[in-house]
Amino acid sequence: MILKIAFRNIFRQKRRTILTALAMIVGFMLSSVFIGWSDGIYSNIIDMFTRNRIGHIQVHQEGYLDRPSLYKNITVYESIGNTIQNNEGVEAWTPRLYAAGLGSVGEKSTAVRVVGIDLMREQNATKFSQKVIEGRPFQDIALNEAVIGNGLKKILKAEIGSDLVIFSQAADGSIANDLYKIVGITDSGDDITDRTTCYLNLSAAQELFVLEGRIHELVVIVSDINHVGRVTSSIKDTLRGLTLEVLPWQEVAKSFYNAMQADKQGDSIGRFVIILIVAMGVLNTVLMSVLERTREYGLLRAVGTKPIQIFGLVLCEVVIIAFASIVIGAAIGTTINYLLSVYGIEFIDGFTFGGMKFDKLHAEVNIRTLIIPTFTVMLSALLVSLYPAIKAARILPAKAMRTR
């Protein structure tokens, strides 16, 4: 009967019910779209960061990441890579060789980071050719071609076709120097990388640094970024017994990951604002409703309704409105999130975040966009209804029934 009274009370003051519901619907919608959009942005950023730079999982010789060295390298990487590829969830892998050197074009010289890559595998894993904005990637078989970053091109005042001299020290202690033809310029979206990086064919780099058959890093791309942890464990298992370190991107790029996490914490401010919107709307209308019905609560108490039942009656009305609002809010919020995930929002001049350039961002439809707003709306509505409900439950029947 209490439920029946609650349900019918909702339809007594339709305008007030609609106002209360609107506060909840708008609150849910805002919360849902806010989460969908920010999750989408984080996914976009993380995906770009991992696919463009570090991959989802990296395999190195033990201690390489802490103190990178030309000598901490991996042999038989082809066989290791193929073993990794057999793990469920692995999409691609690619080997990389890293070395530092001096790069010169004409009279201009600067420090360069030489990255030896297997063009075909790099293309599979990180879509390398898409980063080449001028010229072309080097030929897979060509040994003396180089692709340099856009920033490095400016520093060295280089052009497509310029000769690049790389000068360094090889793994055997000999002087490593050679002449390469610049065939392409990259824009990876990461300014720091583009100011220093010079890509060589892996075999060319191995020959230059006398590291034949060796690499420093094996980058793994997984098909679903949310399964990185599971795939990392699985790869660790298959490589047990080797002196290799298998690390997920969260550990490889700790500072980036921590910055992302810290940024996500900022979401709670947004959520707090939404809770305030819901709370103010609900508190106002519920309090007004309790005040208007003081006489009725007095009557219910007089005929034997217990205080806890009156308390339940007020909360019940709020829960029914909240439930309906959540259903409507979820439908609208999910539709907006879906449209934003499909069409995204384009930025005319793009923007840079963490050295990465973004032209278009997409929202995400996930379970968080439903669960968090549901709890946010329901809890804030219930929380602010506690005071009016307690007030109604503690009514002194005779005094309440004197109210006109």
CA-CA distance, 402 to 298, in Å (whole number)? 9
- Pick from 54, 299, 383, 390: which binds other proteins (CB under 8 A)? 299
Chosen residue from 5, 171, 247, 288 binding other proteins by CB under 8 A: 5
Q: In angstroms, rounded to a whole number, what is the distance separating the alpha carbons of residues 77 and 343?
A: 41
Q: Does 354 bind other proteins (CB under 8 A)?
A: no
x-or-dash string of contact with other proteins, 140-179, rule CB under 8 A: ----------------------------------------
Q: Which residues pair with 198 in a beta bridge?
A: 114, 148
Region binding other proteins by CB under 8 A among candidate stretches 6-14, 63-71, 94-102, 184-192:
6-14
DSSP structure class, residue 240? T
Category of 236 on φ-ψ map: left (φ > 0), alpha (ψ -120 to 50) or beta: alpha
Q: Which two tokens stand for residue 218?
A: 């094996």
Place of tokens 């984080």: 42
225 touches other proteins (CB under 8 A): no
How far apart (Å, rounded) are the C-alpha atoms in residues 140 and 136?
A: 12
**Interface residue with other proteins, options 3, 8, 212, 254 (CB under 8 A):** 8
Separation between Cα atoms, residue 321 and residue 317, nearest integer Å: 6
Q: Which two tokens stand for residue 335?
A: 């539709």
Of 287 and 401, the one with the shorter C-beta distance to other proteins is 401
Q: Give the nearest distance from C-beta 3 to other proteins in angstroms.
A: 12
Contact with other proteins (CB under 8 A) among 304, 348, 349, 367:
304
Quick one: which of 296, 370, 373, 384 contacts other proteins (CB under 8 A)? 296
Is 300 a binding residue for other proteins by CB under 8 A? The answer is: yes
d(C-alpha 138, C-alpha 372), whole Å: 49
305 counts as binding other proteins under rule CB under 8 A:
yes
User: Does 294 help bind other proteins (rule: CB under 8 A)?
Assistant: no
| 12 touches other proteins (CB under 8 A) | yes
Q: Does 401 bind other proteins (CB under 8 A)?
A: yes
Partners of 149 in beta bridges: 186
Q: Which of 356, 357, 330, 396 is nearest to 31 (CA)?
A: 330
Query: Is 259 a binder of other proteins (CB under 8 A)?
Result: no
Q: Smaller CB distance to other proteins: residue 254 or 394?
A: 394
Residue appearing with tokens 């108490």: 301
| Cross-strand partners of 185 | 134, 148
User: Which residues are at the interface with other proteins (CB under 8 A)?
Assistant: 1, 4-5, 8-9, 12, 295-296, 299-309, 396-399, 401
